[in-house]
Amino acid sequence: MKYSLGLFAIMSFAAQVNAADLPVQFISMFDKELGIEEQLKKLPQLKNLGEEVYGTPVKLLVTYHDQGTAGGDVASFTSLMFAAGSLGILPIVENNDFVVSYELRIHSKSIANFSYSINTTEAKNMYTMDHKPSKEVLDFAKTTPAMFAKDLASVSAFKELQQEYGFYFPAK
């Protein structure tokens, strides 16, 4: 009797999920309000994508970072020296590449990694360093799921995994 409730919960969950859709856990550094997860769920390959898909060996990691450019590092250092010399009156000007990376992992092994970047220049006050991405950068990040969709179509290992999953767990 004590197992019947657990069995009922599993059966009701299985009825809600199309078994042919490969479950993919979504892990992102971006806020949920940005809507990247919703855009990715619209892709036919990622219909069963979610943050709470625990236990699946397939994970999609979406990360971002600033990558210094050759001229940007020198300019940032010079700008920092001028800002420090003026006791913060002059702003620090930074020129970096903002990089959004999509990494598809199966059993903690990376099978595909795609990066998309945009060059940005920002002026910041040295006393109020805001480390959040700017609006321009977030607008760029919203366009990356479409780019990732095109690149994901070329990943043969992911296609093979979807076919194998569909073989063992056919659609109802």
**One-letter-per-residue 3-state SS of 77-92:** HHHHHHHHHCCCCCCE
Residue 80 lies in a domain: yes
Cβ burial of 129 (10 Å; 0-12, 13-18, 19+) is exposed
Which has more confidence, 30 or 1? 30
Question: In the chain, how many domains are there?
Answer: 1
Tell me which residue range forms the domain holding 69.
Answer: 22-168
| Mean pLDDT value across residues 124-137 | 81
| Mean pLDDT value across residues 135-164 | 93
Residue 2 lies in a domain: no
Residue 68 lies in a domain: yes
Q: Copy the structure tokens of residue 97.
A: 């590449």
| Mean pLDDT value across residues 91-114 | 93
pLDDT at 20: 65
Residue 127 lies in a domain: yes
| Mean pLDDT value across residues 153-166 | 92
Residue 15 lies in a domain: no
pLDDT at 10: 35
Residue 53 lies in a domain: yes
For the four alpha carbons of 147, 152, 154 and 155, in that order, the dihedral sign comes to: positive
Which CATH number do you get for residue 124?
Answer: 3.30.160
- The string of pLDDT tens digits covering residues 50-102 is 999 888 999 999 999 989 888 778 888 888 888 888 888 888 888 899 999 99
Please determine, for residue 8, whether its predicted confidence score (pLDDT) is greater than 50.
no
Banded model confidence at residue 122, pLDDT cuts 50, 70, 90: confident
Residue 73 lies in a domain: yes
Instruction: Report how far residue 76's alpha carbon sits from residue 118's, in angstroms, rounded to the nearest whole number.
Output: 17
pLDDT at 15: 44
pLDDT at 106: 93
Cα distances from 108 to residues 58, 59, 104, 129, in angstroms, run 8, 8, 9, 35
Across 39-48, 84-93, 126-135, the highest mean pLDDT is recorded for 39-48
Q: Copy the structure tokens of residue 140.
A: 């760029």
Instruction: Report how far residue 91's alpha carbon sits from residue 101's, in angstroms, rounded to the nearest whole number.
Output: 29
Residue 10 lies in a domain: no
